[in-house]
Every structure is written in structure tokens, then in C-alpha cells.
């Protein structure tokens, strides 16, 4: 018999067993204004009614403000210096290879799900994109109806053996969504409520995609419709009697100049002009296989410098560029942002609110960008919502609170 009232310790943080089923939601790219304006304009009646008796504050996300580092922080309760996922890519100097970090082997910490599962908890993890599913499912032994781990993107391929559930499209009652669509996120919620109703997992994690936020600003009709959809599912989840805890992996800002064109600093081009080719290597940790909506342009970059003799010169030249907010050498940068030094370059660069960092023009295909560029990654996208449908006591102050405190808030601080 499992002692369901013991505390579970994960990465040196202790979590109480949930007093009712808990659903933690990571709304990808959800700049606080999206919900604030949607509520104000009447598109989120459930949330508007609920938050005054619940919890609503602002937390800071992890920098680089990208999807994988933040999702892994949320589900481990730790900064990237502990779990090791500092971006989608890092450069393996020894093998001279740019390595994609979407394999669980790069994860250095346990997930909260895996430790609760060991203690007998029922778990459900639902992601939009399949790239996150393996990482979030790290250490979880899938078990039909008990330990479920699925993605909307590959919902048609789900099996009892690999995902803990099969015939998922029938179960959810929706067709397979396009990976580049708002429906991908809707499927996450639709699957989430069905799973909560049927299996009552102790912990459920729903992680959406930021397709809509990359295209549409807060308060626009398309954004409001998307958040109205979310509000309907939040109301259903609430009616199912669960604790809802909601945060985001990062915010989102317009990254355009006065003419509406992407405002890009091409770091590799500049560095090659200043120091010659192959002296430096710019890595953009936003790069992933799904670049259509952001052209692999974000507000964070790391630079590997081959020749230590030019390091100071690189630092000072980059730091004086217009549109660069922060330039730091590895050690200081990793300290400030809580990153793992072995997974970062010699220099960390963060751009200002409306600028993005690129490598060279030929390496960014912007032809698929239909709307003015919106993206994330920097300090200007660090503020994210932090909400629960229940009141809480003893939470950290705004400014100290992190998105990866959400499980702590929902399990240890609800009143
Ligand atoms: Zn994201
Ligand atoms: Zn994004």
C-alpha cells in the first residue's frame, strides 16, 4: 500500500501529495497581456470570475526564454544549471558538432512526475509537439491508463505500450491537428479533460505550442479567440474538481523595426567581418525543426570563441552593438541566469525587446513568415503569468517567484 500522504523529495525540493488531482498547464509563449486583455474584453469569463478567489501573480521564466529549458525547469523544479537543458542546441567542441538537446540523455535531473510515479501516483503528460514528449517522459514507465505520455502532434500513433493509451483520436473525438496550428494546442486541452474525466491522474501536465502567440499580439481577435477556447477548457477542468495551476515557458514580443520588418542583428556575419571566418561560432538555442513561425530568430545567443586571445575584443564589440542588452562571459552569464557552463559558449548575448539575434542572412529562411516577426528568448520576455484556481499562502514575492515554482505552489502552498 502506497503511503499517499508522504512528502516526495525531487531535486532537493519537497512536495506534498496532492489533496485533489492537480493539472499544471504550461501555456507556451503566453505573455501576461494575452490573458489580461482577453479577460478585460470578455473572452475569458471563467478565469475572470475565478482569479479573485484564486491566485494570480507574475513569475520570471528561465533565460534563455525558450520552450525546452523552461518546460524542463517547470517539471523538475530547478534552473537549467541543475537539469542541463539550456536550449535546443549546444555546440560539442570535442566533436565539432552542433548537437540537438531534445534527447532525454541530456537531462541531468529527475522529473517531479517520475518521482511521484515511483510512489504510486497516476500521471498524465500531454504535449503539443512530440519533441517535448520524450524529454518530459524521461524516467516514466508508461503503463496503460496509469502513466500516460502523449503528444498532439503524433496522436494518431499513440499505443498502450509507448504512450499508455491508444485510439487517441477516437478517445478525444478530434482529427489529428496540423503541427502549425492553434488546433494543436486545443487538442492538448481536449485530450487533457478526457483523461482527467476517465482516469483521474494525480498529476497531469498540459504543455501547448506558441503558434498563435508568434503570429498574433495580445488583444487581437485571433489571440482572443484562442484564449476564449482555453477558458472553456479551464472551466471544464475546474468543474471536474481539480486544482488548476497555470504558467508559461516565456513571454512574446514583436521583433520588428518601424517598417514592420524583422529587426535582426546578424552576429556571425559581424564577427566574421571583424575577426575572419571560423574564429567564432554563434549558436542560437532557439533553433529547432519547427522554424516556420520564428525563422530561428530569438533574443538569446551564445558565442564560442576559438582563440582566447580575442575573447575580450569580441565581448566589447558585441556589448556596444545597438540592440544588445546584456553581454557576459560564460561564468558570469551562467551564474546570473542559472545555466550549466558546459552547455554554453564563451559569451552569452541577450538582445533588447524588439531585436532578435541571428547568425547570417543565408541561414535564416524568412519566406514562411506571413506575419510580422514575434519571438522570445530574452529578459524582455521573462515575465509570465502564474495562476491557480485556489488561493495560496506563503508564495515568494513577484520578482523572486519563478515559473518552476508552480508545482511547489500547487502542492505546498494551496489553502
Ligand atoms: Zn515556448
Ligand atoms: Zn516560440
Cα(122) to ligand 1 centroid in Å equals 26
Pull the grid cell for residue 266: 546578424
Spatial contact of 193 and 233, defined as CB atoms under 8 Å apart: yes
Indicate if 191 and 53 belong to the same structural domain. Answer: yes
Cα(255) to ligand 1 centroid in Å equals 16
Supply the pLDDT for residue 199. 98
Domain containing residue 350: 264-375
Provide the mean pLDDT of the chain: 95
| CATH code: domain of residue 334 | 3.30.1360.110
Spatial contact of 209 and 226, defined as CB atoms under 8 Å apart: no
Task: Give dist(CA 14, CA 8) in Å, integer.
Answer: 6
Supply the pLDDT for residue 101. 85
pLDDT digits (tens, 9 = 90+) for 326-346: 999 999 999 999 999 999 999
pLDDT tier, 367 (very low <50, low <70, confident <90, very high otherwise): confident
Supply the pLDDT for residue 1. 41
Q: Rounded to 5 degrees, what are φ and ψ at 203?
A: -125, 130
What's the whole-model pTM score?
0.96
Supply the pLDDT for residue 293. 67
Cα(229) to ligand 1 centroid in Å equals 19
Q: How far is CA 116 from the centre of its chain?
A: 22
- Overall average pLDDT of the 67-88 stretch: 96
Cα(353) to ligand 2 centroid in Å equals 15
Indicate if 155 and 300 belong to the same structural domain. Answer: no
Indicate if 190 and 284 belong to the same structural domain. Answer: no
Cα(383) to ligand 2 centroid in Å equals 15
Stronger pLDDT, 131 or 70, i.e. the higher one:
70
Q: How far is CA 102 from the centre of its chain?
A: 13
Indicate if 241 and 268 belong to the same structural domain. Answer: no
Instruction: Mark the residues whose beta carbon lies below 5 A from ion ligand 2.
Output: 210
Cis upstream peptide for 64 (omega within 30°)? yes
Ligand at shortest distance from the CA of 211 = 2
Cα(14) to ligand 2 centroid in Å equals 31
Indicate if 311 and 397 belong to the same structural domain. Answer: no
pLDDT digits (tens, 9 = 90+) for 286-313: 877 666 567 889 999 999 999 999 999 9
pLDDT digits (tens, 9 = 90+) for 188-214: 999 999 999 999 999 999 999 999 999
- Overall average pLDDT of the 137-152 stretch: 97
Supply the pLDDT for residue 242. 98
**Percentage above 70 pLDDT, the chain:** 97
Cα(232) to ligand 2 centroid in Å equals 24
- Overall average pLDDT of the 79-85 stretch: 98
Flag whether pLDDT at 316 surpasses 50.
yes
Supply the pLDDT for residue 295. 83
- Overall average pLDDT of the 258-280 stretch: 96
Crossing angle of helices 182-199 and 221-239, rounded to 10°:
0
pLDDT digits (tens, 9 = 90+) for 201-250: 999 999 999 999 999 999 999 999 999 999 999 999 999 999 999 999 99
Indicate if 128 and 100 belong to the same structural domain. Answer: yes
Ligand at shortest distance from the CA of 29 = 1
3-state SS assignment for residue 232: helix
Indicate if 92 and 239 belong to the same structural domain. Answer: yes
Running DSSP on this structure, what letter comes out for residue 66? -
Supply the pLDDT for residue 203. 98
Task: Give dist(CA 193, CA 189) in Å, integer.
Answer: 6
Stronger pLDDT, 75 or 288, i.e. the higher one:
75
Cα(254) to ligand 2 centroid in Å equals 12
Indicate if 229 and 309 belong to the same structural domain. Answer: no
Spatial contact of 166 and 142, defined as CB atoms under 8 Å apart: no
Cα(211) to ligand 2 centroid in Å equals 7
Stronger pLDDT, 14 or 131, i.e. the higher one:
14
Cα(71) to ligand 1 centroid in Å equals 8
What distances in angstroms separate CA 89 from CA 66, 92, 173, 177, one per listed residue? 11, 10, 36, 27
Supply the pLDDT for residue 102. 82
Cα(344) to ligand 1 centroid in Å equals 19
Indicate if 217 and 278 belong to the same structural domain. Answer: no
| CATH code: domain of residue 47 | 3.40.720.10
> What residue ranges in 120-263 does DSSP mark as E strands?
123-127, 147-151, 203-207, 243-247, 253-254
Cα(215) to ligand 2 centroid in Å equals 10
Task: Give dist(CA 329, CA 339) in Å, integer.
Answer: 12
> 177: which strand partners?
none
Ligand at shortest distance from the CA of 287 = 2
Spatial contact of 299 and 375, defined as CB atoms under 8 Å apart: yes
Ligand at shortest distance from the CA of 253 = 2
Indicate if 367 and 387 belong to the same structural domain. Answer: no
Indicate if 84 and 30 belong to the same structural domain. Answer: yes
Ligand at shortest distance from the CA of 252 = 2
pLDDT digits (tens, 9 = 90+) for 87-136: 988 888 888 888 888 889 999 999 999 999 999 999 999 999 998 999 99
Cα(67) to ligand 2 centroid in Å equals 7
Cα(239) to ligand 1 centroid in Å equals 28
Indicate if 82 and 205 belong to the same structural domain. Answer: yes
Supply the pLDDT for residue 97. 86
Q: How many domains does the chain have?
A: 2
Task: Give dist(CA 236, CA 82) in Å, integer.
Answer: 35
Whether residue 1 lies inside any domain: the answer is: no
Cα(66) to ligand 1 centroid in Å equals 5
Amino acid at each position: 500500500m502506497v503511503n499517499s500522504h508522504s512528502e516526495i523529495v525531487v531535486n532537493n525540493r519537497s512536495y506534498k501529495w496532492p489533496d485533489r488531482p492537480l493539472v499544471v498547464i504550461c501555456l507556451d509563449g503566453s505573455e501576461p497581456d494575452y490573458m489580461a486583455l482577453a479577460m478585460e474584453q470578455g473572452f475569458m469569463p471563467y478565469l475572470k470570475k475565478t482569479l479573485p478567489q484564486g491566485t494570480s501573480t507574475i513569475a520570471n521564466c528561465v533565460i534563455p526564454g525558450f520552450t525546452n529549458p523552461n518546460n524542463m525547469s517547470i517539471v523538475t523544479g530547478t534552473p537549467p544549471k541543475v537539469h542541463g537543458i539550456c536550449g535546443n542546441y549546444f555546440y560539442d567542441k570535442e566533436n565539432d558538432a552542433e548537437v540537438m538537446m531534445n534527447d532525454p540523455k541530456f537531462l541531468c535531473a529527475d522529473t517531479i512526475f517520475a518521482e511521484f510515479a515511483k510512489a504510486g501516483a497516476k500521471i498524465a503528460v500531454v504535449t503539443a509537439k512530440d519533441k517535448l514528449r520524450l524529454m518530459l517522459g524521461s524516467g516514466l514507465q508508461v503503463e496503460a491508463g496509469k502513466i500516460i505520455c502523449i503528444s498532439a502532434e503524433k496522436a494518431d500513433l499513440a499505443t498502450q505500450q509507448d504512450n499508455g493509451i491508444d485510439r487517441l483520436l477516437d478517445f478525444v473525438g478530434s482529427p489529428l491537428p496540423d503541427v502549425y496550428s492553434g488546433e494543436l494546442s486545443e487538442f492538448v486541452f481536449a485530450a487533457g479533460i478526457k483523461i482527467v474525466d476517465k482516469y483521474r491522474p494525480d498529476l497531469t501536465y498540459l504543455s501547448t505550442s506558441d503558434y498563435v502567440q508568434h503570429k498574433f499580439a495580445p488583444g487581437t481577435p485571433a489571440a482572443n479567440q484562442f484564449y476564449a477556447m482555453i477558458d472553456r477548457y479551464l472551466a471544464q477542468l475546474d468543474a471536474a474538481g481539480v486544482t488548476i495551476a497555470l504558467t508559461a515557458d516565456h513571454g512574446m514580443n514583436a521583433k520588428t523595426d518601424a517598417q514592420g520588418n524583422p529587426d535582426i542583428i546578424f552576429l556571425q556575419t559581424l564577427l566574421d567581418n571583424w575577426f575572419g571566418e571560423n574564429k567564432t561560432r554563434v549558436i542560437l538555442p532557439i533553433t529547432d525543426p519547427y522554424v516556420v513561425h520564428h525563422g530561428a530568430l530569438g533574443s538569446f545567443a551564445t558565442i564560442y570563441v576559438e582563440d582566447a586571445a580575442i575573447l575580450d575584443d569580441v565581448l566589447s564589440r558585441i556589448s556596444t552593438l545597438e540592440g544588445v542588452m546584456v553581454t557576459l562571459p560564460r561564468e558570469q552569464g551562467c551564474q546570473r541566469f542559472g545555466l550549466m557552463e558546459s552547455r554554453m559558449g564563451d559569451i552569452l548575448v541577450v538582445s533588447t525587446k524588439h531585436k532578435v539575434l541571428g547568425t547570417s542572412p543565408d541561414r535564416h529562411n524568412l519566406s514562411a513568415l506571413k506575419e510580422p516577426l514575434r519571438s522570445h528568448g530574452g529578459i524582455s520576455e521573462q515575465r509570465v503569468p502564474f495562476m491557480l484556481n485556489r488561493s495560496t499562502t506563503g508564495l515568494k514575492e513577484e520578482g523572486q517567484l519563478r515559473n518552476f515554482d508552480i508545482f511547489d505552489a500547487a502542492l505546498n502552498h494551496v489553502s
